[in-house]
Every structure is written in structure tokens, then in C-alpha cells.
Structure 1
Amino acid sequence: MAALDWSQCPVVESVPGRRSGAWVFRGTRMPVATVFENLEAGASIEEIVEQFHVTPEQIRTVLEFAARSLDPPSVEVPTSTSNDARSL
């Protein structure tokens, strides 16, 4: 994942001396990268919440911020129903 400027995300902070200044959830030592690593490994948001003691809202805010920060290609994605997707 490309490095994002997390400075405008309200639920994270970078504190010198805490996790080497990595972006962490505000008031915690949990790196933001941990969310993405766990999702990539197949964990659900609920599992991350239970294991790392952050709220679903914090995770949602981080995911939404990351999605808005990415520069998506200008490709039109067709909408389909789940039945249509299975026929591909």
C-alpha cells in the first residue's frame, strides 16, 4: 500500500517515541498498518476489534480515510447483482 498522509485522519496520531513515530490509533500503541495486515490475512473487523481493543467506528474511519485518499483510476465499474457476479 502506498504511504498515506494520515495527519488529517481524526482517529490516528503519530507520537515521537511511541512505536517509532508510526501512525497509531489515537490514545493507543496499535499501528494503523495492523488493521490492513489483519484484513489482508483474512481477519474480520469484529476480530480486529476484539483482539486489539479499538472500536468498529475507529476502523471504519481509517478505512474510509484510506479509500478517499487513494487516487482511483478512471474506470467505470458496472453495477450488478450477486447473481450476475456468479455468472462471470
Structure 2
Amino acid sequence: MDETQIFAALSYLGFSFFIGLVLAPLIYKDAKSLPKLFLGTKPWFWSLCCLFQGPLIVVFIYWAIHHSSFSNRVNGENL
């Protein structure tokens, strides 16, 4: 690997972590406001995942599990 590729990889990781720092408190606040989370997970779990697993995919998964119309059908809230 040359220096440009290393710089690009580290830049991507740094940018991803920065976006995670911005989104993690927002996810934590929303998760605290929900009465029940998927499989009894804790709000801090979602925040840590946002920081270290990739913020955009975690935000999408969090939304799909807790806020999408699909989640309402699975939980039986709209039946």
C-alpha cells in the first residue's frame, strides 16, 4: 500500500467516527424516549454501535427496527 491509500483509509475512518460522534447522542436520546427497545437492548448499545460499526448503517438499522412501518407490523402495534 502506498501513502495515498493509507491516507484515504484513515480519512474515511476519521470521517466515519466524526459522523458517529454527531449521531450517537441523537440515537441515545431517541432510544431513551422509547418505552421498549428491540430485544431489550439498552440505549448505550445503539450509541456505541453508531460510533464503531459505521454510523449510517446503524442509523438505518435503528430506524428500521424501531420507527419504520415494518417494525409496527412485527410488534403487532397496528393489528
> Is TM-score (shorter-chain normalized) higher than 0.5?
no
More helix by share: 2
More strand by share: 1
| TM-score of the two chains, using structure 2 as the length reference | 0.29
Task: Report which structure shows greater RCO (CA 8 Å, sep ≥6).
Answer: 2
| TM-score of the two chains, using structure 1 as the length reference | 0.27
